[in-house]
Chains A and B, each alone.
Chain A
Amino acid sequence: MEQKKLYESQQLALWYFWTAFILLGAQLIFGLIAAYQFVNPDFLYGALNFMTNRMLHINALVVWLLMGFIGGIYWFLPLETGREVVGIKLGKLAYFALVGAVAVVVLVYLLKQIGTADYFTMWFITEGREYIEAPRWADIGIVAVALIVAYNVIATTLASKRITGILGVLIIDLAALFGLYLAGMFFTPNISIDQYFWWWVVHLWVEATWEVLVGVLMGWLLMHLLGTPRKIIEAWLYVEVMLVFGTGILGLGHHYYWIGTPEYWLGIGGFFSAMEPLPLVAMVVHAVYDAGVHKLKTVNIPALFWAFAQAFGNLFGAGVWGFMHTLPQINLFSHGTQMAPAHGHLAFFGAYMAANVALFYFALGQSRVKEGYVLNGFPWKLAYVGLIIGIVGMVGALTVAGFAQTMIERATLGSTWEAYITAQEHPWMVSAYSWRLLFGFVFFVAYIVLMYDLITAGKRVEELKRIEEARVAG
């Protein structure tokens, strides 16, 4: 099969996608080990402790999702501007720098694991702040890579002499996204101030700037996949920016309930985060409309299905699982229990993983499938169903555990060390951890199927078309 002509930037995008999906595998493996340690705490005790696995699990998550987003940007940027990306050489250099840095950080995490109480540890081993544990040298590297990506977007836009609404949103959002990372690069003995700005990175990423970035990428995807007119995409993107930033920026307050910050955050955070599901419910109506009107007809079936999984997953993960423990009166008891990972797992899967899979399938379809052929097949369906069953099972189990922990440890026994142990030994929590592990395996197996399909997708289309023609003729 002849290779389609791609922009160099799109080749780079494919590298980013592949690296991202390999890192996803690492995330799942360390997640599985951590999940097994909940069931059998002696497993790898002293060699690869829970904390190390958990750190690798969440760090791989952040890095692979970001890499997928960068891949998405590099894929669509030349299509949007009608030209090759300006600093493509620099972009490739940044890719290798990023991959190299990630490899070194992971090796240090695995081999060194912990440091001593000094600034050397902060600079070269770990900063020990959940999600952004990466040592300071790597932080600086990440900022440099981010600046190169931002430079490429801005310079290419300027060179094309045409700024579209989508590019405008993208540029502002990237500036905010990468700028916010700086808020995570300092040390203070004051843990309240530490967590105050730590949430600027964590919350204002996942509940504001990432949401908008995914909005941009999904907008491009729908434009190219379904031919949705630009005006509709742009209008919706603006509505989304208004709603996401309108509720998300001060919704940050729901992380400021209990870190020492003044009491007004209880009201501000509670109000704005109670409003957060409203736009999500409204947006899903549009997704359903798109699905129905096009009767799911497109050249790239898996990309379309994953795009819908994104719309629904975002609603359930962020909206439904977020709302039930967001009011301060409830959160006082559920904060820091298994309710949080239940919400986190579904929200990350729905809002971000689904988006990345959709983007990757779209890129594969464009680069591998000839005109007139449709990217489809059986394995992606298996992976799709398997991943959804896996995540729903894990989240269901964690939700049960979260309820039990909130009721037993927090509301009844009084949040002490002993209360924690008593709750963890309750059958509802013990069996929930087993179920989570089981569905974790389901998820992992589905990931293998997904990888198989990603490697072969589009390479089998001619055979599929013959089968289809034979079916129609026969």
Chain B
Amino acid sequence: MLADVLYKLMLYGFLLVFFASAYAILYGFGRVWDLPFLTKISYAFGVLQFLSGLGMVVTEYLAIFWKLIILISSILYLFIPPVMWKVVVKFHERHHR
């Protein structure tokens, strides 16, 4: 049913970015405060984020092209926090003097 499908897509879409944000924030704090435990928890949110993206992809409604965009995004989100972390640290090392 249409309402059912839309409900799922909106919910997954919300969770996708929500978990991606939680992942980025927790990962960042885990690194900056040197709490490996927090960093590990953040990976769980990374996985949840990916699963939400997958949820949008397996729901039969969007055209294949949009599914692809969402799939690529949710893969990108997996790498954004660690990569950004390295970039930020490099930036500050270079210009903080």
Interface residues, chain A, with chain B CB atoms under 8 Å away: 229, 231-232, 235, 270-271, 274-275, 277-278, 280-282, 284-289, 291-293, 312, 315-316, 319-321, 323-325, 327, 329-330, 333-334, 403, 406-408, 411-412
Given known A292-B29, A412-B3, contact A329–B80 (CB-CB < 8 A) = no
Cβ of B70 and Cβ of A274 under 8 Å apart? yes
- Residue contact B17 to A286, C-beta cutoff 8 Å: no
Band of interface residues on B: 35 or more
A329 CA / B21 CA spacing, docked (Å): 24
Q: A281-B17, A281-B80 are in contact. Are A329 and B66 (CB under 8 A)?
A: yes
Give the residue name and chain of the B residue nearest to A271 (CB).
Answer: B69
Inside 8 A of A334's CB, which chain B residues have their CB?
6, 10
What are 14 A-B pairs with beta-carbon distances under 8 A? A229-B95, A274-B70, A282-B24, A282-B80, A284-B25, A285-B27, A288-B29, A289-B32, A293-B32, A312-B25, A319-B17, A325-B10, A333-B2, A411-B6
Bound together, the chains give a CA A271 to CA B92 distance in angstroms of 33
Give the distance to chain A from B50, nearest Cβ to Cβ, in Å. Answer: 14
**In whole Å, how far is A402's beta carbon from the nearest beta carbon of chain B?**
9
Q: In the complex, what distance in Å separates the CA atom of A406 from the CA atom of B7?
A: 8
The answer to whether B17 and A324 have CB atoms under 8 Å apart is yes
A324-B10 CB under 8 A given contacts A285-B80, A285-B81: yes
B57 CB to closest chain A CB, in angstroms?
13
Q: Residues of A contacting B18 with CB < 8 Å?
A: 316, 320
**Also in contact, A288 and B6, with CB within 8 A (given A274-B70, A277-B20):** no
Query: Could you say which of A274, A277, A286, A408 contacts B88, with CB atoms under 8 Å apart?
Result: A286
Nearest Cβ distance between residue A409 and chain B, in whole angstroms?
10
User: B41 on the interface (CB 8 Å rule)?
Assistant: no
B14, closest chain A residue (CB): A324
Taking CB atoms, residues of chain B closer than 8 Å to A286 are 84, 88
How many whole Å from A61's CB to the nearest CB in chain B? 24
Give bound CA distance, A403 to B4, whole Å. 11
- Chain A hits for B20, CB < 8 A: 277, 281
Whether A235 lies near B80 (C-beta < 8 A) is no
B37 CB–A CB distance under 8 Å: no
Given known contacts A277-B20, A411-B3, A412-B2, A231 and B13 CB-to-CB distance under 8 angstroms: no
Q: Knowing that A406-B7, A407-B3 touch, tell me 9 more A-B residue pairs with CB under 8 angstroms.
A: A229-B96, A275-B73, A281-B24, A285-B81, A288-B28, A320-B21, A327-B66, A330-B13, A412-B2
Q: How far is the CB of A426 from chain B (nearest CB, A)?
A: 12
Asked if A284 and B3 make an inter-chain contact with CB atoms under 8 angstroms apart, the answer reads: no
A-B contact count (CB 8 A): 121
Chain A residue, CB-CB nearest to B5: A411
> How far, in whole Å, are A126 and B63 apart by their CA atoms in the complex?
43
Chain B: residues with CB nearer than 8 A to chain A?
2-3, 6-7, 9-11, 13-14, 16-18, 20-21, 24-25, 27-29, 31-33, 61-63, 66, 69-70, 73, 76-77, 80-81, 84-85, 88-89, 91-92, 95-96
Question: Do the beta carbons of B85 and A330 come within 8 Å of each other?
Answer: no
**Does A278 lie within 8 Å of B13, measured CB to CB?**
no
Compute how far the CA of A171 lies from the CA of B5 in the bound complex, rounded to whole angstroms. 47
- Compute how far the CA of A406 lies from the CA of B20 in the bound complex, rounded to whole angstroms: 25
A278 touches B73 (CB 8 A): yes
Q: CA A280 – CA B73 in complex, angstroms?
A: 13
Instruction: With A285-B88, A319-B21 as known contacts, state yes or no: A330 contacts B80, CB within 8 Å.
Output: no
Partner of B21, one of A293, A316, A327, A406: A316
Give Cα A212–Cα B3 distance, bound, in whole angstroms.
Answer: 38
**Nearest-Cβ distance from residue B91 to partner chain A, whole angstroms:** 6
Q: Which residue of A lies closest to B83 (CB)?
A: A282
A residues near B27, Cβ cutoff 8 Å:
285
Distance to closest chain A CB from B81 (angstroms):
6
Per the bound structure, the CA–CA distance linking A321 and B31 in Å amounts to: 27
Residue on A nearest B69 in the bound complex, by CB: A274
Residues of B within 8 A of A287 (CB): 28
Contact across chains for A289 and B10 when beta carbons are under 8 A apart: no
- The reply to whether A330 and B21 contact each other, CB–CB distance below 8 Å, is no
Q: Which residues of A contact B16 (CB under 8 A)?
A: 323
Tell me if B10 and A330 are in contact (CB < 8 A). yes
Cβ of B92: which chain A residues have Cβ within 8 Å of it? 232, 289, 293
Q: Is the CB of A329 within 8 A of B25?
A: no
User: For the complex, what is the distance from the CA of A107 to the CA of B88, rounded to whole Å?
Assistant: 50
Closest to B16 in A: A323
Q: Which of B14, B66, B81, B85 contacts A320 (CB 8 A)?
A: B14
Q: In the complex, A319→B32 CA distance in Å?
A: 24
- Min CB distance A327 to B, Å, is 6
CB distance from A416 to the nearest CB of B (A): 16
B13-A327 in contact (CB<8A): yes
Select the residue from B18, B63, B77, B85 with max chain A CB neighbours within 10 A. Answer: B18
